[in-house]
Amino acid sequence: MQKNKLNVSPIVVAEVGVNHNGNMKLAKKLIAEAAKSGADYVKFQTYNTKSLVSKNSSSAQYQKKYLKKKEKKFLMLKKYELSYRNHLELIKECKKKKN
């Protein structure tokens, strides 16, 4: 990465968010792609579904419009939630890829 006039290099963070779709294999592939692209870090969306929404919460209008199947927001978010153990596994993967 090229330094700027202040003689510092920018830090690049690859935003994975929930694009792993709850699939750890895909999450690891996204880490590898971020590393290949030169990202310094990878950011995943981290939350606890139970603390975020109630089981009866309905999906937002845009979600209702674009989701193939109608499902409650709780179930949708739960699919993409990463466990503590998942995070530890992804941290290991990042260290292997050095991001």
Backbone φ, ψ for residue 38 (5° rounding): 100, 10
What's the rounded Cα separation, in Å, for the pair 25 and 30?
A: 9
Assess contact for 34 and 16: CB atoms under 8 A. Answer: yes
**By three-state DSSP, how is residue 42 classified?**
strand
Q: For 84, what's the count of Cα atoms within 13 Å in the CB-facing half-sphere?
A: 0
Q: Please give the average per-residue pLDDT across 24-31, as a whole number.
A: 97
- Considering the entire predicted model, what is its pTM? 0.79
Per-residue model confidence as pLDDT tens digits over 63-77: 777 776 677 888 888
Query: How sure is the predictor about 1, in pLDDT bands with cuts at 50, 70 and 90?
Result: low
Per-residue model confidence as pLDDT tens digits over 36-88: 999 999 999 999 999 999 988 877 777 777 776 677 888 888 999 999 999 99
